[in-house]
Amino acid sequence: MTHPRDAGMLVFWLALAGLGLLSLAGMGWEAWQSARERRRIAQPGALVEIGETRLHAVLQGRRRSVEHPVLVFDGGLTNGSLAWPAAVAALGPEWLTLSFDRAGHLWSDRALGPRDAEASLADQRALLAALHLAPPWVLVAHSCSGHIARLHASRHPEDVAGLVLVETIPAELAGAITQSSFARSLWWKVPAARLGLWRLRRLLQGLPRRPDRVTPASMQAAWTRLSQTPRGLEATRAELACLVADTQAVDAAPPPPQPCIVLASTRGAVVVPRGMTEAAAHEQALRAQRNLAARLPGAELRVTDAGNHELPWQAPEEVAQAIQDLAARLQAGRAG
């Protein structure tokens, strides 16, 4: 006769084994779905080896002369190369443009080691070297990549001709982002994503139709499909963990002297801090952009109401115009 306690232990171990099998099944399903998603949405670029990892890079257009700058596009926290197709299309083919996915995001390999600004800068320079893209470069950065561009320009002024900072994040805005509900939710989203539960929830809520390829019309749908994988969420969490310290260090360092356009939205608040109205949050964000432009010796501030924080998606023509105007300033400076 089986002792009740033995029967209870048997049930416990069977339940534990069943839970383990379900977890393994969920992890396998998630890995298969993530790989399948990346295959079925055709890479707009190619994977480029930089040391122990590979970054997805999209190289388009042509360079008119060795003095004509290469445009290097770095996306926000999660959208990488998918921030820029409409802006690149608005520029036309007469520019050599590079957009890429930072390690861990979208099509790039998993991030290795810390994901602070120093690591991202090292990856960016290694990518440019691997692609044999000689300077000068104009760095175009959106949102949480702005401090990386400023660090790059300060550290290597001989290579960086100018900057276009699109709704980037100075130190006074970084804290609110790292304390946002999205940032706090990553503690459960990452393990849930590893088990396939986050994907299952998103499927039940409804996802946009999967595009076969990336175009200006499909870039947001592709981002929605690709950005919430376990490795993407892990990379996002790792970058957010460094954001406050990185932005404070870059803000405190001597500013880059290059010509710069700061493109800001009247509705640019990424998050609305607790106890603050939405209008006050937008005004705070715009004030931070004004302060940023005032700290940069060669900066011009441009304010638009054509979109919110996601200007590369919502106002690509304005982003393209800022790039063209900055390039004209650089050309005039060379001629003078």
Which is more confidently placed, 299 or 8?
Answer: 299
Q: What is the pLDDT of residues 149-202, one digit of tens each?
A: 999 999 999 999 999 999 999 999 999 999 999 999 999 999 988 888 888 888
Determine the pLDDT at residue 68. Answer: 85
Confidence of residue 16 (pLDDT cuts 50, 70, 90): low
- Please name which of 150, 96, 142, 104 lies closest in space to residue 123, comparing C-alpha atoms: 104
Average pLDDT over residues 94-112: 94
Question: Higher model confidence: residue 67 or residue 70?
Answer: 70
Question: At 79, is the pLDDT very low, low, confident or very high (cuts 50, 70, 90)?
Answer: very high
pLDDT of 11: 61
Residue 334 has pLDDT above 90, yes or no: no
Core vs surface per residue 262-300: b (16+ CB within 10 A) or e = bbbbebbbbbbbeeeeeeebbebbbebbeebbeebebbe
Within a 10 A sphere around the Cβ of 172, how many other Cβ atoms? 16
How far, in Å, are 2, 11, 15 from residue 18 at the CA level? 22, 10, 5
- For the chain, percent of residues with pLDDT exceeding 70: 91
pLDDT for the residue numbered 5: 62
Residue 112 has pLDDT above 90, yes or no: no
- The answer to whether the CB of 140 falls within 8 A of the CB of 72 is yes
Determine the pLDDT at residue 13.
Answer: 57
Average pLDDT over residues 30-38: 77
Distance CA 226, CA 220 (A): 10
Distances (CA, A) of 245 to 157, 178, 252, 254: 23, 11, 11, 16
Using a pLDDT cut of 90, give the percent of the chain over it: 71
CB 146 within 8 A of CB 169: yes
Give, as one character, the DSSP assignment of residue 110: P
Banded model confidence at residue 63, pLDDT cuts 50, 70, 90: confident
Neighbours of 65 (CB within 10 A): 5
> Whole-prediction pTM value?
0.92
Tell me how far apart the alpha carbons of residues 106 and 333 are, in angstroms, rounded to a whole number.
Answer: 38
The answer, yes or no, to whether residue 2 has pLDDT greater than 60, is no
Would you say residue 114 has pLDDT above 90?
A: no
- Please name the residue ranges forming H helices in 106-229: 117-130, 146-155, 171-178, 181-194, 197-205, 219-226
Helices within 52-145 (DSSP H only): 85-91, 117-130
Domain ranges of the chain: 42-335
Rounded to an integer, what distance in angstroms lies between the CA atom of residue 124 and that of residue 117?
A: 10
As a whole number of angstroms, the distance between CA 135 and CA 150 comes to: 16
Q: Give me the residues paired with residue 59 across strands.
A: 98
281-300 pLDDT per residue, tens: 999 999 999 999 999 998 99
pLDDT at 206: 86
Nearest to 43 by CA among 101, 111, 103: 101
42-335 CATH, one of 3.40.50.620, 2.60.40.1180, 3.40.50.1820, 3.40.50.300: 3.40.50.1820
Q: Residue 202: its pLDDT value, please?
A: 86
Average pLDDT value over all residues in the chain:
90
